[in-house]
Structure formats: structure tokens, C-alpha cells
Amino acid sequence: MKKSDLPLPKNKFAPLLLKWNKENNTRQMPWKGEKDPYKIWLSEIILQQTRVEQGLSYYNNFIKTFPDVHKLAKAPDEKVFKLWEGLGYYTRCRNLLATARFISKERKGKFPSNYEDIKSLKGIGPYTAAAISSFAFNLPHAVVDGNVFRVLARVFGIAAATDTTEGKKLFTSLADDLLDKKQPGLYNQAIMDFGAVICKPAAPLCTTCVFKKNCVAFLTNKVYDLPVKEKKITIRKRWFYYLVLVYKNEIAIHQRTTKDIWQDLYQFPLIEANTDMTVKNILQQATKKNWLVKSDYEVVSVSPLFKQQLSHQLIAGQFIRIQLKKQAKDNNGWVWVTKNKIAKYAFPQYINQYLKEKLGQQSLF
């Protein structure tokens, strides 16, 4: 490594990035170049914790169903949750609705046009506020997300952990210094695209990269050591045993209302445990809860093990399909739904896997 190569002067970063953007960036996305803050906001909320390829169809469906903020604000919760189904992280959907209703009612549909007011909206943090204010209003706020952390950590050889307060401060301050203040929207989109298609987490395209002569990570062989994270993610394992209670041609479902994963989505009556359980134990617990009355039911089938990996939790368990001879007395706020009505409710992916299989085999009702 020649001394003169490093470090890259800050004022050279944006021109090199924008040169790549102009000459080589072919990444297409329907919201690119969009100026309508409503559409930008929708795309950004959908893309939080979601890959672009997965988010695309959701974005298109949302725009088609709710072309403006008033239409989204007026929609019943269940319709919006149903459209969100499969995207996960349902807090985003709740915040989306709350913000749409706030903008529609309190601001007569007008999206705020300055960074602080945008950031004060529910579900919008510094990253999303910077994205909306730069894309829609050309305001000079730099986005700092996983892509930006990676690009800056590698190009400038920064070993500060991105998940610490000091690390975040350092990266945010550097990102602000590097931002092209005259074209912040173009710059922000370019750095995110660059992180997604060139400076990728695995197999980055270093040998053809515009920064290869100045990139500390590349020149010092530390590409895979950067960026650094301090905390290790611990995965909590939970066992979910669902009782699929069938009475005549109806099934019992209810809404998850507690502050937990899948809040507001629907599920079958649930027995949760910290470890795996036998069917006998599950039935005993259900009887204690008065969901089942001895001799008034029959276990029709027990599913194989189902699993779903979330970011910090692993959900595993089974579905026990039970034919009731009498409807349970204490019905705990359950809703009894027929085959035709079940599709209107939004379920977590874990349940949808089961439903899809059973409805496909016509063996649920």
C-alpha cells in the first residue's frame, strides 16, 4: 500500500461515488427518482428490515390499493394488516396506519417537509427521515443504514462498532461530512445502491470498484473484518402449540393483543412453552383452561414440527386439530370462522404455512 493512497480525502468520496452512479449504476426500483413523499415513505417503511426483492410486490400492492394517504388512513385495520401479511415486523404496519391517520386528519393530507417534523412521525427514525427529506425535498441529510455503515467502514478503515452509541455518532458525523449537499437525494440513493450491489456483505466487487485504490479495507486485506459489531444476537427459543378447534364447519381464532411478536394478527388458541411438550400435556393444559371438556372432543390430527426463524427468536411447535362435539363454554373472545371467512384475517407466516397446506388438501374444515 502506498502512503499517498490513504486516507481518501473526504472531498473525493462523493465525486467518485456519483461517477459510479452515473456510469455504472443499473439498479432499478419503482420508487427511484420519486418525489411524492407519501410513496417514498411507504417504500421506506416497507424496506425497513425487508429485502428489496421481497418488498417490491408489497409496495406495488399498497400503491394500487391506497394511491394516497387519505385512502390508507380510511382503510380498516384488518384490510391493511392483510395486505402486510408475510412482511413481518408488524409494528411497522401499526405505525404506518397511525401516521397515515395523523397526516390525513391533523395535516389535511400534507406530508411534513422538514427533517425534524418528519422524524417526529410514528415509525420514522433518523434513517427514514433522512431518506424522505432528501428524496422528496432535497434536504441535506445523510442516510446511515447497514449499507452505509459497511461502505464507510471499509473505505475509511473504521473499526468502531456500528451498534454502539459512539460508533453510531462517528459514522453519522462522517456520513454528514461526505454528503453532497447540492444533490443529497441522488447521493443518498447512490451510496445505498453502491452498498447493495458493489460493496456487498459477501463477495464485494473490489477488483472493479471505483474506490479500490483508496479503500483501506481492500488495501489492508480487511474487507471481511469490517464493519464491526459488538453485540452478539442471542436467539430465544419458544414453543407454540396451536389447537385447531373445529366445531361443525367453523374454526376458533382470536387476535394476539399483547405486546409481543405478531401483535394484532390472528391465531388459533395457543399453548406456549419454553420447551417441547407431549400432546397429552398440551391437552391437559387446554382442559385446565376450560377450552376442552373431557370426552367432548376428538384429536383428529397432529402436524409435523413447524418452525419459523425470526431475527431474535426461533418459533417451533405443532398444530393439533381437534373436532369438538360441543362448543367450548368459555370461549375467551374467540371468533368462529368458516372456510370462506378465514382468508379475510391476517395470520403470521408460521400459521399461514399450516393453513396453506391444509386448505390445499381440503382437510381443515
211 binds ligand SF4 (CB under 6 A): yes
Verify binding: residue 75, ligand SF4, rule CB under 6 A: no
Does 273 help bind ligand SF4 (rule: CB under 6 A)? no
**Cβ 348 to ligand SF4, closest distance in Å?**
37
Choose among 222, 263, 271: nearest CA to 348.
Answer: 263
Least distance in angstroms from the C-beta of 204 to ligand SF4:
4
Q: What is the per-residue binding string for ligand SF4 in 218-257, x denoting contact by CB under 6 A?
A: x----x----------------------------------
What's CA 58's distance to the chain center, in Å? 12
- Judge contact between 114 and 154, C-beta under 8 A: no
- Tell which one of 199, 265, 286, 328 touches ligand SF4 (CB under 6 A): 199
Yes or no: say if 199 and 154 are a contact pair by the CB < 8 Å rule. yes
212 binds ligand SF4 (CB under 6 A): yes
Q: Provide the 3-class DSSP secondary structure of residue 308.
A: strand
The helices-and-strands tally (H runs, E runs) of the chain is 15, 8
Q: Which is nearer to ligand SF4, 25 or 284 (CB)?
A: 25
**Contact stretch for ligand SF4 (CB under 6 A) within 2-10, 79-87, 211-219, 345-353:** 211-219
Give the H/E segment covering residue 323.
Answer: strand 313-324
* Of 16, 197, 206, 228, the one binding ligand SF4 by CB under 6 A: 206
44 a catalytic residue: yes
Separation in Å, CA 204 to CA 15, 196, 226, 229:
20, 9, 12, 19
**Quick one: angle between helices 91-106 and 77-84, nearest 10?**
130
Q: Which three cell numbers stand for residue 185?
A: 437525494
- Scanning 2-10, 130-138, 148-156, 345-353 for contacts with ligand SF4 by CB under 6 A, the matching segment is 148-156
- Determine phi and psi for 318, rounding to 5 degrees: -140, 165
Q: Does 190 bind ligand SF4 (CB under 6 A)?
A: no
Q: Strand (E) positions, 207-265?
A: 236-247, 250-255
User: Is 215 one of the binding residues for ligand SF4 (CB under 6 A)?
Assistant: yes
Q: Is 93 in the site for ligand SF4 (CB under 6 A)?
A: no
**Residue 296 to residue 227: CA distance in whole angstroms:** 59
Under the criterion CB under 6 A, does residue 154 sit at the interface with ligand SF4? Answer: yes
Write each residue from 155 to 184 as x if it is in contact with ligand SF4 (CB under 6 A), else as -, in one continuous string.
x-----------------------------
Query: Of 44-52, 74-82, 208-216, 267-275, which part binds ligand SF4 (CB under 6 A)?
Result: 208-216
**E strand or H helix at 242:** strand 236-247
**322/200 Cα distance (integer angstroms):** 49
| Residue 128 backbone phi and psi in degrees, to 5 | -65, -40
- Residues binding ligand SF4: what is the number (CB under 6 A)? 15
Q: Residue 67 has what DSSP assignment?
A: S
> Nearer Cβ to ligand SF4, position 178 or 198?
198
Pair type for strands 335-337 and 313-324: unpaired
**Is residue 144 a contact point for ligand SF4 (CB under 6 A)?**
no
Q: Does 209 bind ligand SF4 (CB under 6 A)?
A: yes
SS3 of residue 95 by DSSP? helix
Q: Which of 34, 44, 85, 250 is catalytic?
A: 44
Torsion of CA 32, 37, 39, 43, to 10 degrees: 70
Q: Which stretch binds ligand SF4 (CB under 6 A): 95-103, 200-208, 254-262, 315-323?
A: 200-208
Smallest distance from ligand SF4 to CB 177, Å: 17
Does residue 152 touch ligand SF4 according to CB under 6 A? no
136/155 with CB nearer ligand SF4: 155
Q: For strands 266-267 and 250-255, give the pairing.
A: antiparallel
Judged by the rule CB under 6 A, the positions of this chain that interact with ligand SF4 are 151, 154-155, 198-199, 204-206, 209, 211-212, 215, 217-218, 223
What residues act catalytically? 44
